Structure 1
Amino acid sequence: MRTRRIGTVEVGVVGLGAMPLSVEGRPDEARAIAVIHAALDAGVTLIDTADSYHWHAGERGHNEELIARALAAHGGDPGSVLIATKGGRGRPGDGSWTVTGTPEHLLRACEGSLRRLGVDALDLYQLHKPDPAVPWAESVGALRVLLDAGKIRMAGLSNVTAEQISQAYEILGDGLVSVQNRYSPAVRDSEPELDLCRRLGIAFLPWSPLGGISRSSLDGPSKLDQAASTPFHAVAAERGVSPQRVTLAWLLARSPVIVPIPGASRPESVRDSAAAADLALSPDELARLNM
């Protein structure tokens, strides 16, 4: 798989969002590990997780522990995979999400992620969401402390505005290497943040990158796809591939700093997503999709 850069690290242009493997409706562990292994075998070298990716109360870090077990069982070089995790959110177990961005919480959360992933330093640690009750500089300052202490190699942000990115860059400098915002065919309101990331050389990792694209057969376009009104489905039908693959190829063409992290709960989905790295869309097709 061709690569793009996150900080000083080259990663495959399509990553894996591991959240579906641990939250509501998750597959059993054998299939979850099969999904991660399929991703690695397809050339994926970026896996995105968070300490809050779990389902029930009392299982914080479920996703991180799952990834650690999958990497250990795979037999390859775990050092060749960049694990991006996040701190600053919680899940009480009732389906809700909380936000806690105090420096004390983030420092403790980092220690927990280090323990669960079984590493001395986290490859990439990202602030999951700004906490409106905590000054932004204090939350970002915790990432600065972790960088200086060698607990994390690189820092990132999620769910942020362009102004927050700029403020964080003043504190973190080149230590800030990634931004995760929602961006997809259905949600394109992070254009200012994407443009700023391009100018600063920061990787932009769209979460929920397949938003607005219906489920379809991964063996080819279905009758539903052919009849669908979105240009993504139309191009997919013409190409004989899934609309998900077209969507990821479109994202890769949007900007050289984009590295999408589609989720998956089946090995087939992972393989289809990875194949987007080799799908080159024509200027005409891109013009249709950009409308």
Structure 2
Amino acid sequence: MPNVEKGIGMMWGSAQRFAKSGGFVGNLGLGGMRLSIEGRPDADRAKATINAALDAGLTLVDTADAYHAGAQDRGHNETLIGDVLAARGDADRVLVATKGGKVRPGDGRWLIDGRPDHLKSAARESARRLRCESIGLYQLHAPDPGVPFAESIGALKDMVDDGLIERAGISNVSVAEIGVAHGILGPLLVSVQNEFSPTAVDGFGTFKKSQQLGLMFMAWRPFGDQQKIASTDNPFVEMARKYGVSLHRLILAWELSLGVGMVPIPGATRTETIRDSAAALNLELDSLDAERLANYALFGDTALDENLRKDEVNA
């Protein structure tokens, strides 16, 4: 079984240690979206993938009420995860991180609704689908341009105070928004979930801000543009050959090398894929190799504008 405690210590507090059984959230989670949106696998294969992730030692599963296809199966992914955990009987050792604030009317669009009343109602429905009285980690899926950000964050605080959720997080946010949320929630805020990968490094500044505040940074779409990476001669392809592992596993190992608090959440629709991802927890890169990959991704052709990068990292 992978060493899920590698790299994160007790300093991360309630983001990693969670109630009920004193479970521990490791450095990698399963992203559930692809198991429920358009093109999803059948239910048996989806459940087998979740079980494979948990059997491999992962104790974090990411989901959202908007992870569904048609308008009539809202919360499909939450229901799927709730069913698997109920059948296994070990839900207490798994932290399910769900999100609210995005809405899918069934025509392919992803809309945003950050109104406090909507978020609270959505969280109650999420808890029902996940078969729990209190959601372990509930995150605002995205800021709503039509709702003051502080009001949406205030709704998260109300839900913690009411016992509907145990911890709060935010997703798809800027460095400045992390600061605002932390100012309102204080220690109730435990996570930031933003996109980050070798081909989407603009999330690096929000990772550093999260690290500064002691927050778990959940990197969604951690593989990035896989075709772009695989089709060019670059250090990631070279290092995958050197270590004799898949490009997927190499990318995750590099992300884990960036520092405490980085928690990639790769998606998967097959058992073998999530097992390969989980194996990244046991792949230690040589420090010079990790540095070379970081220099290429963060300062090479895929880097952010230098001034923007400095502004975000130092914010």
Which TM-score applies when normalising by structure 2? 0.86
Equivalence for 2:42 = 28
1:128 is aligned to 2:141: yes
Q: Taking every aligned residue pair, what percent have the same amino acid on both sides?
A: 49
Shift of 1:42: 0.2
CA deviations over 1:8-52 (Å, ceiling 9, x no partner)? 432121110011100011000000000000001000000000000
Greater helix fraction, Structure 1 or Structure 2: 2
Counterpart of 1:272, as a letter, is: D
2:67/2:77 contact within 8 Å kept = yes
Counterparts of 1:155 and 1:288, CA distance in 2 = 35
Equivalence for 1:2 = 4
* Structure 2 residue ranges without an equivalent (≥5): 19-23, 297-315
Shift of 1:190: 1.7
Counterparts of 1:213 and 1:286, CA distance in 2 = 19
2:16/2:25 contact within 8 Å kept = no
Counterparts of 1:241 and 1:193, CA distance in 2 = 29
- Equivalence map 1:54-93=2 (5 Å): 54-75=68-89, 77-93=90-106
Moved over 6 A (4+): none
2:17/2:25 contact within 8 Å kept = no
Counterparts of 1:186 and 1:281, CA distance in 2 = 20
1:19/1:49 contact within 8 Å kept = yes
CA deviations over 1:202-224 (Å, ceiling 9, x no partner)? 00000000112249xxxxxxxx9
Equivalence for 2:254 = 250
1:150 is aligned to 2:163: yes
Shift of 1:92: 1.1
Counterparts of 1:284 and 1:120, CA distance in 2 = 47
> Is the deviation greater in 97-106 or in 281-290?
281-290
1:155/1:176 contact within 8 Å kept = yes
CA deviations over 1:124-159 (Å, ceiling 9, x no partner)? 000000000000110000001001111111000000
2:4/2:58 contact within 8 Å kept = no
Which TM-score applies when normalising by structure 1? 0.93
CA deviations over 1:204-251 (Å, ceiling 9, x no partner)? 000000112249xxxxxxxx95x7413211111111110100100111
Equivalence for 1:221 = none
Aligned residues: 281
CA distance change for structure 1 residues 140 and 114 in 2, over 3 Å: closer, same or farther?
same
Shift of 1:7: 5.0
2:63/2:78 contact within 8 Å kept = yes
CA deviations over 1:180-213 (Å, ceiling 9, x no partner)? 0000000011222111111110000000001122
Counterparts of 1:190 and 1:270, CA distance in 2 = 23
Equivalence for 1:238 = 242
1:51 is aligned to 2:65: yes
Aligned equivalent of 1:192, options 190, 205, 213: 205
1:7/1:154 contact within 8 Å kept = no
1:103 is aligned to 2:116: yes
Pairwise CA RMSD of aligned residues?
A: 1.5
1:267 is aligned to 2:281: no
Counterparts of 2:67 and 2:282, CA distance in 1 = 30
